[in-house]
Structure 1
Amino acid sequence: MGNEQTPQIAPTTPTPQRPTGQETVFAGAAQRTVDRLRALWDLVTDRPVSLYAASVLRIGYGLLYLVFLLREFPHRDEIWGPGSPWTPALAHQLFEQTGWNSILTLSDSRAYFELCYAVALLTSALFMLGWRTRAMSVLFAVVVISFHARSILMTDGGDNLVLLMAVYLVLTACGRRWSLDARRNRLKAARAGDTPEPVRSFTSQELRDARSTLTTVVHNCGIFVIAAQVCFLYGSTGLYKVQGASWGSGTALHYVLNLELFQPWPALSHLVDEFPLPIAIAGYMTVLLQVAFPFVLFGRLKYPVLALLLGMHIGIAVLLGLPLFSGAMIIADAVFLPDRFYAFLPRLRRRAAQRTGMRRPTPGPAAGAGSVPSQGRPGAPSSKHRANPADQKDTTLTTERS
């Protein structure tokens, strides 16, 4: 018994367990979620989007508010000035309830009001032209807020959207295209020529990249907020109309056309009202377009919808006498047009000029129809493709010339 040996059991290697179907599905879903989050992060931080659309909004709202102030110039005292029935005392009482404020109520002097009005006209013009756009955007928002809050019950309500867009445009880089700032940057790059850029320290370069990324993120968030605001406006308006019996019966536009308050040309309103069937179809189409608008933005169907909405707003401006509201909505819809559309417009104009013989063709290779200029900050490389210091000069010249 003593010479017997205890048999040794060889250690067994645990066989790896294959993942079950549920675990595979869970891992795939998690990976897809991570990929989507990464793509969303790249979209927000990689480069500024819709620079041309932001410039169109800047030009449109600056011009619209400038025309609005010029149109009301003979009545400025009755609407916003010391002679307004909505006195500064009443305005201060409303400010206590709403939290608004206005630079127009800082003084009751007629000279001070005229100075503020002149500053508002100058600010709107400079903002539209894109001169020192970053500072002008802030000043333009202050002007719009001040005039809106001073006599909130004296206007037609179309300036509500202008007020929101003026605040949102402060966040955007709306001066990168079609502006005096962009022209100054192009001339500066042309004068620099082949002069090499100064060598920056590592800390200075990192701070510059962080500033460029922060500007890009703020701009993209501003564009997304503008798009969401327009979608919410159309969707909520359409759902509100669905609840009304007159819109369901197709008679809403008939009643609107017979309101004396919204009849700039009564004869035209009565003429249109003589066609009940087209009016009923237009009412149903209005509700359908507004409700469906947020759901057609990610396909080609948005282009005919935008065209129909353009016709609808023109009809509102002409038949109901609301040009400020219609203009604000038409300009807001421009945010949904891609940059390749705006980049194609100058080429289309040059082609039309060449066909009519007004301008000789410019020598040199023509840009492709689908090419869009780089949207990054002039001289700043993308977050994915960092350029070498020796290549930054060529990147700057290429960006500014486009």
Structure 2
Amino acid sequence: MRGNTHRTAQRCLAAVTARPASLYAVAVMRVGYGMLYLLFLLREFPHRHEIWGPASPWTPELSQQLFDQTGWNSILALSDSPAYFELCYVTALLTSALFMLGWRTRATSVLFAIVVTSFHAKAIFMTDGGDNLILLMAIYLAFTACGRRWSLDARRNHLRTARTTGAPEQRKSRVSPRLREARGTLTTVVHNCALFVMAAEVCFLYGSAGLYKVQGASWGSGTALHYVLNLELFQPWPALSQLADDYAILIAIATYTTVLLQVAFPFVLFGPLKYPVLAMLLGMHLGIALIMGLPLFSGAMIVADAVFLPDRFYTSLAALCRRRVRQTRPWRQAPGSSTCVRVPPQGGQLAPPGTQPDSAGLGGRPSARSA
């Protein structure tokens, strides 16, 4: 019994300290959340002064009272100067773009977390709720190695490795091997722990939302989505909402399916049902974004679901995309489709008039016209 427990503990320790897990998943989350927040800031650019800037109803005094209640803080509250706010906004746009591209990810991930925290704390009641999840994931991503795949940092390291491979002399590192190994182990442990926290956060979010819905009478009767579709607040396209509401049976099926998916999600992560459930959740979030007009919330949830896909899924998907691109190139010729061009004879005697060179280029034969 003790031997089995000891081996299990060793396997768990090796899983945490051996290598960083799900590097492609955190890379997808980095790209997804960086792009989402960049698009969010660009979308609200005409209204930035009313939401976060000097024209916001949250004066510095009210903001301070809010900070005292929530425990948050914001770099936007350091000054009420319009020029300072514009500088902060441009910095937020630039930070989101660099974080999405993976440039100096260790620094930009921290700056991105500060930016998201500051803008969220300044206007905590004026967004659709999608930035709540982005805020949590931005903080967690700062502790991960999210720049090792699909980033400018990864490309730079790859080019540096290619240049130094085969060099006669390698520059000696000033860091001792033992210290380098300890730093790598610490980075791996922090990365894997942050990854586990992100996965647990998403499980808790789905599970709590599903259990909360079970307690509601409208969700139990299958009519909850009917009432949602008739709320003016969630009708970006009233005609589309009315069209969806006309199918009562489909609305009831969608209501029960939503509750079932959210409640069952934490229990299917380690079985074969994980991929169908994730695909159905993707469809659910796309429907929320389209019909209810909550693109930021839906996008944040879709990106969060990427943490449960293993690296082999992303590598296989990337290989499939590259193969499809090679097959669909318009300038790529199919094998055996090239035509054989015959080169005329060089340096031989000229054929007499009225004759054509033969296939070997050694003489002439009468042409059909001369015959």
TM-score (norm 1): 0.81
The one-letter amino acid of 2:59's match is: T
1:343 to 297, 308, 315: 315
Q: Name stretches of at least 5 consecutive residues in structure 2 with no aligned partner.
A: 334-371
1:184 aligns with 2:172: no
2:109 corresponds to 1:112: no
Pick the aligned partner of 1:317 from 289, 293, 298.
289
Aligned-pair CA distance for 1:156: 1.2
Larger Rg: 2
Rounded Cα–Cα distance in structure 1 between residues aligned with 2:215 and 2:198: 26
> Partner of 1:70 in structure 2?
42
Matches within 5 A, 1:3-402: 28=1, 30-195=2-167, 196-198=169-171, 204-358=176-330
Find the aligned partners of 2:159 and 2:145 in 1 and give their Cα distance.
Answer: 19
Instruction: List runs of 5+ in structure 1 lacking aligned partners.
Output: 1-27, 362-402
Quote the RMSD (CA, aligned, Å).
1.4
What letter is aligned with 2:283?
G
Contact 2:164 2:170 in 1 (8 A): no
Q: Which amino acid aligns with 1:109?
A: S
CA contact (8 A) 1:353 1:359 kept: no
Do the aligned partners of residues 355 and 85 (structure 1) sit closer, same or farther apart at CA in structure 2, a change above 3 Å counting? same
- What's the CA shift for 1:350? 2.0
Which amino acid counterpart does residue 166 of structure 1 have in structure 2?
A
Is the alpha carbon distance of 1:359 and 1:299 closer, same or farther for their aligned partners in structure 2, counting shifts above 3 Å? farther
Residue 249 to residue 52, structure 1, CA distance change in 2 (3 Å): same
Say if 1:146 and 1:205 are closer, same or farther in 2 by CA, change over 3 A: same
Question: CA offset at residue 34 of structure 1?
Answer: 1.6
- What are the Cα deviations for residues 285-344 of structure 1, in whole angstroms up to 9, with x where unaligned? 000000000000001210000000000000000111100000000000011111011111
1:101 to 1:325, Cα distance in 2 relative to 1, 3 A: same
Give the corresponding residue for 1:20: none
Contact 1:46-1:216 within 8 A present in 2 as well? yes
2:294 partner letter: L
Alpha-carbon separation, structure 1, partners of 2:61 and 2:135: 23
Partner of 1:6: none
For residues 232-256 of structure 1, what are the alpha-carbon distances to aligned partners after superposition, in whole Å with 9 as ceiling and x for unaligned? 0000000000000000000000000
Cα deviation digits, residues 333-390 of structure 1 (max 9, x gap): 01111101111122212211232234759xxxxxxxxxxxxxxxxxxxxxxxxxxxxx
Tell me which amino acid in the other structure corresponds to 1:346.
Answer: A
CA contact (8 A) 1:82 1:88 kept: no
- The TM-score, its normalising length taken from structure 2, stands at 0.87
Structure 1 residue matching 2:176: 3-state secondary structure: helix
Conserved 8 A contact 2:113-2:138: yes
- Which residue does 2:341 correspond to in 1? none
1:367 equivalent in structure 2: none
Aligned length: 332
- Percent identical pairs in the alignment equals 72
Residues 254, 82 of structure 1: CA spacing in aligned structure 2 closer, same or farther, 3 A cutoff? same
